[in-house]
Structure 1
Amino acid sequence: MMVILNSFQSEWIKRKHSSASWLTIFGALFIPAIVLIRRMLETEKLIGSNSSGKIWNMLYSQCWNYMSIFVLPIGIILTASLIAQIEYRNNCWKQVHTTPQSFTVLFFAKFGIAIALLIEFFLLFNIGIILTGILPALLFADVPFPKQDFPYQAFLIGNAKFFLYCLPILSLQYLLSIHIRNFMVPIGIGLAMVIASLIAVSWKYGFLLPYTYCSMQFLIHDNRIDPNVNIYGWSLGYFVLFTILNYILYIKQKSRG
């Protein structure tokens, strides 16, 4: 256990030399910032919206609707690619593989960094949502603080669903990124999959494409998605499949450069 923790700590330090951390922060706060600016430009609506009994539900829906369809998948694609490029860019894979730690430890330490950045993204994004609700009240004297009690349980459940939907995307992009040296190829494949998901999301077999799951969350309730499709099961299944496949390819690869 200590070996894994030490390896994770080492990878966490190395990630500071990439753009992954800044991308996580910027990506998480991008949509809340836009929603906040729009709210503050419509000052005549602020009093009514903050007094609403569903203000947090409204902000949650607005922010996640914009985030889940495009920004979140793109952020995951870029972050997963940047983590792998830390070694490719500096030609350090051979050096890393000569350190006194197993390939299994190295694989899961790097994958753990990707998951940790995704968790950081979710935390910052939810902080951003909260700030969109309370900052107008701090900046404008006549705007009240949100009247609705903060729905902790609903937020946790909703975030847990989106986190699960993200895992197969993260796992597949991590697979592509550590096995393809060219930085643009995994990104290009990921972008193509995102575009394909926008087309396939309302198709009856769209659930076969894991990039559609985040968007599907908003379509289930208006009968455009078959409610009998177990998106949670498909997400978890794809995540396990891609992770196992990636691990096997990583352990058995002949070239360690």
Structure 2
Amino acid sequence: MMVILHSFQSEWIKKKRSSASWLTLFGALFIPAIVLIKRMLEAEKLIGSNSSGKIWNLLYSQCWNYMSIFVLPVGIILTASLIAQIEYRNNCWKQVHTTPQSFTVLFFAKFCITITLLIQFFLLFNLGIVLTGILPAPLYADVPFPKQDFPYQGFLTGNAKFFLYSLPILSLQYLLSIHIRNFMIPIGVGFAMVIASLIAVTWKYGFLLPYTYCSMQFLIHDNRIDPNVNIYGWSGGYFVLFTVLNYILYIKQKNRG
């Protein structure tokens, strides 16, 4: 366990050479910032909205609706590619593989970095939603702080679902990025899958494409998505499948340069 921890710390330090952290910060706050600006440009509506008993539910729905369809998948694609490209860009794979640590430790240390960045993304995004609700109050004298009690349980449940839906995308992009030297190919494949998911999300077999799951969350209750499809199971299954496949390919690969 300590070996994995030390390897994780080493990979975390190397991460500073990439733009992954800045991408995580910018991507997480991008949608909340737009929603906040929109709210402040419509200042006459702030009193009524902050006094509403559903202000947090409204902000949650607005922010996640925009985030889940495009920004979140694209952010995962770029971040996973950047983490894997640290070694390719600096021609360091051979050096990394000569260090006194197993390939299993190296594989999961890097994978844990991507998952940690995803967790950071979710935390920063929810912080952005909270700031979107409370910042207008100290800036406008007549605007109250949100009257609705913060729905912790609803936020946690909703975020847990989106996190689960994100895992197969993260796992597949990590698989592509760690085995393909050309930086643009994994990104190109990821973008193509995102576009395909926008087309296939309402298709009866759209659940076969893991990039559709985040979008499905907002359609499953309005008869455009089959409610009998277990997207939780499909998400978890794809995540395990891609992770195991990636691990086997990594362990068995002959060219480690």
Counterpart in the other structure of 1:121 = 121
Task: Look up the equivalent residue of 1:91 and give its one-letter code.
Answer: N
Match of residue 67 from structure 1? 67
Map 1:7-156 to 2 at 5 A.
7-156=7-156
Q: Distance in 2 between matches of 1:228 and 1:139?
A: 46
Note the C-alpha offset of 1:138: 1.3
Question: In structure 1, what is the Cα distance between the partners aligned to 2:46 and 2:95?
Answer: 56
Structure 1 counterpart SS, 2:16: helix
Distance in 1 of aligned mates of 2:153 and 2:9: 32
Matched residue, 1:187? 187
Query: What is the rounded CA distance, in whole Å, between the counterparts of 1:107 and 1:92 in structure 2?
Result: 15
Give the deviation of 1:217 after TM superposition.
Answer: 0.1
Q: Determine if the alignment matches structure 1 residue 169 to structure 2 residue 166.
A: no
Give CA-to-partner distance per residue, 1:192-212, whole Å, 9 cap, x none. 000000000000000000000
1:160 aligned partner: 160
Question: Distance in 2 between the 1:11 and 1:137 partners?
Answer: 41
What is the CA-CA distance between 1:18 and the residue it aligns to? 0.1
Deviations 1:60-81 (A, max 9, x none): 0000000000000000000000
Deviations 1:106-151 (A, max 9, x none): 0000000000000000000000000000000011110000000000
* Aligned-partner residue type, residue 189 of structure 2: I
Identity of aligned residues (%): 90
Aligned AA (1:48): G
| Number of residue pairs matched by the alignment | 257
SS at match of 1:222: coil
User: For the residues of structure 2 that align with 1:37 and 1:18, how far apart are their CA atoms?
Assistant: 29
Q: Which amino acid is 2:162 matched to?
A: F
Match of 1:245 in 2: 245
Residue 95 of structure 1 and its aligned partner are, at CA, apart by 0.3
The TM-score with structure 2 as length reference comes to 1.00
Deviations along 1:132-177, one digit per CA (max 9) or x if unpaired, are 0000001111000000000000000000000000000000000000
Q: Please give the secondary structure, in 1, of the residue aligned with 2:27.
A: helix
- Structure 2 counterpart SS, 1:220: coil
Counterparts of 2:213 and 2:78 in 1: how far apart (Å)? 18
The separation in 1 between residues aligned to 2:78 and 2:15, in whole angstroms, is: 13
Q: Unpaired segments of 5 or more residues in structure 1? A: none
Equivalent position SS for 1:25: helix
Q: Aligned residue for 2:202?
A: 202
Amino acid at match of 2:108: F
Q: Distance in 2 between matches of 1:45 and 1:65?
A: 21
TM-score by length of 1: 1.00
Question: Which amino acid in the other structure matches residue 25 of structure 2?
Answer: I
1:221: how far off? Answer: 1.1
Stretches of structure 2 that go unaligned for 5 or more consecutive residues are: none
